Structure 1
């Protein structure tokens, strides 16, 4: 199955999951930082590399999805 190309529906599901993961990561990290009395700005600065990675992956998946949709 690893060699089988993903369908547009599978890519859409993956996008939703990544978006949920990103939101949960931010929410949970900010909540933990608040409890630890860390600033939101410093916390977001530390999170930025992870968020950039997630955003880059989302962009690639969206591009794949657009290519599949255009081919259909």
Structure 2
């Protein structure tokens, strides 16, 4: 049994909720990474550079851009 997600329509409230959850998850990834880097005394600049190319963060940023483009102005 498979659901066709393309036929489901999301309300603006649903889209906003997903955006908020993705933003929270993205921030948690960054915060956790910075906390771990601090424990191993890794320079913050180097960590931020690596985070810019982190595959999960790049994916989240793309998803957020896509969702924001679907929001009515």
Which residue does 1:21 correspond to in 2?
A: 25
Question: Which secondary structure does the structure 1 equivalent of 2:71 belong to?
Answer: helix
After TM superposition, the structure 1 = structure 2 runs for residues 33-72 of structure 1, keeping only pairs within 5 Å, are 33-50=37-54, 51-66=57-72
In structure 2, the gaps of 5 or more residues are none
Q: RMSD value over aligned CA atoms?
A: 1.7
In structure 1, the gaps of 5 or more residues are none
The TM-score normalised by the length of structure 1 is 0.78
In 2, Cα distance between equivalents of 1:29 and 1:64? 30
Deviations 1:19-54 (A, max 9, x none): 101111111100000001111111111111233432
Question: Which secondary structure does the structure 2 equivalent of 1:37 belong to?
Answer: coil
Higher relative contact order (CA 8 A, sep 6+): 1
Higher helix residue share: 1
